[in-house]
Each structure stands twice: as C-alpha cells, then as structure tokens.
Amino acid sequence: MQKKLNYDVTIIGAGAAGLMAAIEAGKRGRKVLILEKNNHIGSKILISGGGRCNFTNINANPNCYISENPHFIKSVFSRYSSNDFIELVEKHNIEYYEKTLGQLFCKKSSREIVNMLQKECNEANVTIELSVNIQNIKKDNIFTVTTDSGIYTSESLVIACGGLSFPKKGATDFGYKIAKQFEIDLIKDRPALVPITVDERKNSSLLELSGLSFKAEAKTEGTKVTFKENVLITHRGFSGPAILQISSYWQKGKEIELRLEPELNWDEIINSHSRERIELKTLLSNYFSQRLADYLANEISSSKPMIQYSSKEIENIIQRLYAWKINPNGDEGYAKAEVTTGGVDTNELNQKTMESKKIKGLYFIGEIVDVTGWLGGYNFQWAWASGYIAGQNI
Ligand SMILES: Cc1cc2nc3c(=O)[nH]c(=O)nc-3n(C[C@H](O)[C@H](O)[C@H](O)COP(=O)(O)OP(=O)(O)OC[C@H]3O[C@@H](n4cnc5c(N)ncnc54)[C@H](O)[C@@H]3O)c2cc1C
C-alpha cells in the first residue's frame, strides 16, 4: 500500500535552488517536502568549483547573465544579493577566499556548503525524500505528485530540477516536461559554458597542441561582451575560462575571435623587429611556448626571418595576433556543459515570487529558468536568490 501524505509545499529537486527555497519556506513554518531523484542532495554543489564550490560572485549583477529579460534578474537580486549568501556562509563558519574576479570559493571543500544546507533544512523541519522516481504530477485544487514510493499532495509545487547539463550527475528534462504539461512557454535550450570543437581533419596540427594554454580576449558576433582569461587547447578544440564564457554567446556558424596575450602591443613588438634577422617563430616564442609559437608562425605566414616579410605581410601578422579567428563546428554538448541557457520564459513568472502567472501555486526556480550566468559563481547566486524569493512566498 502506497503512503499518502499532505504537505504545504512540494519541491522537486534537492539542488542549490530547491534546498534554499525549502529552508526559507520551512523557516516560515511551512510544512515542506523535497523529492530528489539522486540518493543524496546537492550533487552539482559537490562537484562544483573543482571540489571547492565557487558559491557566489561579489560582482553579481544582471549584466553578467544571459536572459531574454534582464529586468527580471534585477528585481530578484534586489531582494537577495551575494552579501546575503555570504552572511549565511559566515554564520556557519565556513572559510572562503576570493580566487579572482570576485569569485568566492570554499577554502576546504564544497561538502561544507552541502552540510550547511542540510543543517538549515533540519532546523527548518524540511523533509527530504531521496531516490524518488516521480511518475506524474496533476493539479486540481491542489497538486498531486505520484511517485513509486508514495503520493504527495500540496498547495504549492516548486520545480527546481535544474537544467540538462551533466546528466551523469542527475540532470533530466523533467522540469521542461512539466512546463510543457502546464503550457508554460520555454525559450529554446542550448549547452552553455561548454568547450567548443573544431574540424579535426582541418586542424590536426592545432589539436596536437592539446594541453597548451595561453591568455586571450575572446569575442564573437552578436555581443559586445568580451572575456580576458585563459584559453586551453584540447584534443577536440578549445576550452578554458575565456572559451567557456564566450561559448554561452556563440551561435552556430559564427566565428570566435581571440586577441592573443591581450596586454601586449603587437604593433610595437612586430614592427620593432621587422628589420631584423630573427625568425617569426623565435620572436613569438618570447611570448608563447615554443610549440605554440611554431604553430602560430606557420599558420599566420610560414615562418622566416622578419626582414624577409613585406610590409603587407607584417601588417597581416599583427592583425592575426590581434584577431586569431576560430571557426568552431560545434560544442561538447550537455555532457561537458556547466549550464543550460534558455528554459522557462521569465515572462511566464512573477518576478516578486517566481510563481507562474498562469498556474496558481506552481513555481520555477534555478537553472530551469531562462537565466544563465557567466562562469564564476554567478549561477549559484541565481539559484540561491530565486530559491530564496520562492521560499518567501510558497
Ligand atoms: C561541473 C560543474 C561545475 C559547476 N561549478 C559551478 C561553480 O563553481 N559555481 C557556480 O555558480 N555554478 C557552477 N555550476 C553550475 C551550478 O551547478 C548550477 O547552475 C546550479 O547547480 C543550478 O542549481 P539548481 O538547483 O537549479 O539545479 P541543480 O543543482 O542541478 O539541482 C537540480 C536537482 O534536481 C534533481 N532532479 C532532476 N530531475 C529530477 C526528477 N525527475 N525528480 C527528482 N529530482 C530531480 C537533480 O538530481 C538535482 O539534485 C557548475 C556546474 C557543473 C556541471
């Protein structure tokens, strides 16, 4: 005989957003249930930030997010900021540090963030059911969630089951299916913060450099945003922070342009050696590893002593160092993407509550919503903030 239980709130997904919403609702005295498919909570928190969870960014603001509706993000962040989450982390005496660019990481381990959320859930009397397989969700006056292990009814239902990236850590398309079931508009999803690939046959000598990294400023058509960070050559194309960041803006068929070592004045460097016998590859090896310098020199203009280049060729060398054009043929997909862009259209949601405008009592929070942050703690900040707001209203 299946158990039948009633709660005030059912939350689907014990990730960053779902846990935060549960804690806040529980603190308000609401009887809260979380249903989680995995046999543990916070699976992505555990693997995040290389095991040290980059839990927020002190510079988080709407400009660091991709969404059809930036005003929506502004409204959410005005109610819950990175300082609010830092306060919670400090309350639990979790040591953290700023790695770079406002990115806050745990000093010890991501596990501390998960333990903190579990403790807060316990204190707020939140019930968490693990290893749950949801069969269907129905709504009459209240929501009924039928699972293999029980039937749960509640007045509010929160969909916090994340995006499609990293299926091996539990990601499913369940939230998107529920949105469709309730006829809620979705913005087309796409992998983001993802390594890009290039045609392997045309780029065999480049791909032999797999493992080498360099600094660059990355840009692509359709956005003014640029990222000055490291680029890593992989055995299939490019990765590293600058590439992951720009991948979220990249559209199929468009180029990505890299300004190599962006602090350097290539005009001055190349022109000042243009009358010398030094070979281009030797000159470039002052700024890149020898293997990358050899590759670049041959790619740009088969390497020879600088004095043998015409002024037009010198100009071309300078231009190529300022704008190395990459033609990606794809990306590594959801298996390697950190996040998913697109999702539940923010126009479908009330920005003060995260509740669906169409279906009373139904809420969407976290990555399932069409709000995608840059790399660097921005995505967790969105999950905490949207979870917090729903938690005040469910
Ligand atoms: C490798 C990696 C590293 C990352 N590092 C960072 C970082 O350092 N900083 C940062 O800001 N962001 C990082 N991110 C992104 C961040 O993890 C997500 O943006 C964030 O976890 C989204 O929170 P969420 O609660 O919406 O979804 P999730 O945290 O993905 O939680 C969703 C939960 O729902 C559960 N679920 C799914 N389907 C069902 C179902 N049918 N029934 C029941 N439960 C279900 C899942 O098992 C999961 O527990 C990283 C992502 C990856 C993949």
Q: Average pLDDT of 281-289? A: 97
Which residue is it, tokens 């998107």?
176
Say yes or no: CB of residue 14 within 6 Å of ligand 1.
Answer: yes
Q: Which CATH architecture has domain 3-188+340-393?
A: 3-Layer(bba) Sandwich (3.50)
Pocket test for ligand 1, best of 131, 149, 161 (most atoms within 8 A of CB): 161
Ligand 1 atom closest to the CA of 366, numbered from 1? 26
3-class SS at 44? helix
d(CA 37, CA 44): 13
Which residue is it, tokens 């479908």?
348
Least confident of 22-26, 67-71, 190-194: 67-71
Say yes or no: CB of residue 165 within 6 Å of ligand 1.
Answer: yes
Give the pLDDT score at 239: 98
> What b-and-e string marks burial along 248-281, b requiring 16 or more CB atoms within 10 Å of the CB?
bbbeeeeebbbbbbbeeebeebbbebbeeeebbb
H or E segment at 245? Answer: helix 241-247
Contacting residues for 107 by C-beta, under 8 A, at least 6 apart: 52, 95, 96, 97
Say yes or no: CB of residue 173 within 6 Å of ligand 1.
Answer: no
3-class SS at 357? coil
Say yes or no: CB of residue 174 within 6 Å of ligand 1.
Answer: yes
Say yes or no: CB of residue 343 within 6 Å of ligand 1.
Answer: no
Between the CA of 346 and the centroid of ligand 1 the distance, in Å, is: 19
3-class SS at 299? helix
Question: What is the distance of C-alpha 62 from the center of its chain?
Answer: 14
Give the pLDDT score at 303: 85
In the chain, where are the structural domains located? 3-188+340-393, 196-331
- φ, ψ for residue 283 (rounded to 5)? -60, -45
Across the chain, mean pLDDT equals: 97
Can 3-188+340-393 and 196-331 be said to share one CATH topology? Answer: no
Contacting residues for 56 by C-beta, under 8 A, at least 6 apart: 82, 85, 86, 104, 377, 380, 381, 384
Residue percentage of the chain with pLDDT more than 90: 96
User: Which residues, in sequence order, are bridge partners of residue 32?
Assistant: 9
- φ, ψ for residue 158 (rounded to 5)? -115, 125
Single-letter code of the amino acid located at 175: G
Ligand 1 atom closest to the CA of 162, numbered from 1? 27
Residue nearest to atom 29 of ligand 1 (CA): 15
Pocket test for ligand 1, best of 98, 121, 338, 341 (most atoms within 8 A of CB): 338
> Rounded to two decimals, what is the model's pTM?
0.96
Angstrom distances, CA of residue 198 to CA of 72, 220, 249, 330, 389 = 36, 15, 17, 7, 41
pLDDT > 80? residue 350: yes
pLDDT tens, residue by residue, 225-242: 999 999 999 999 999 999
Question: What is the distance of C-alpha 106 from the center of its chain?
Answer: 18
Say yes or no: CB of residue 383 within 6 Å of ligand 1.
Answer: yes
- φ, ψ for residue 335 (rounded to 5)? -60, -30
Q: Average pLDDT of 290-297? A: 96
Give the pLDDT score at 66: 96
Q: Average pLDDT of 23-46? A: 98
Between the CA of 167 and the centroid of ligand 1 the distance, in Å, is: 10
Q: Average pLDDT of 208-214? A: 97
Contact by Cβ (8 Å): 65, 122 = no
Q: Average pLDDT of 280-304? A: 94
Residue nearest to atom 31 of ligand 1 (CA): 15
Say yes or no: CB of residue 248 within 6 Å of ligand 1.
Answer: no
Work out the pLDDT band at 272, boundaries 50, 70, 90.
very high
Would you state the torsion angle of the CA atoms of residues 120, 365, 376, 172, taken in this order, to the nearest 10 degrees?
A: 100
Give the pLDDT score at 199: 97
Residue nearest to atom 52 of ligand 1 (CA): 338
Say yes or no: CB of residue 20 within 6 Å of ligand 1.
Answer: no
Short-list 71, 10, 52, 37, CA closest to 380 = 52
3-class SS at 342? strand
Ligand 1 atom closest to the CA of 169, numbered from 1? 47
Contact by Cβ (8 Å): 57, 377 = yes
Between the CA of 331 and the centroid of ligand 1 the distance, in Å, is: 20
Ligand 1 atom closest to the CA of 13, numbered from 1? 34
d(CA 373, CA 282): 40
pLDDT tens, residue by residue, 118-153: 999 999 999 999 999 999 999 999 999 999 989 999
pLDDT tens, residue by residue, 38-55: 999 999 999 999 999 999
Work out the pLDDT band at 1, boundaries 50, 70, 90.
low
Query: Considering only the top CATH level, what class is 196-331?
Result: mainly beta
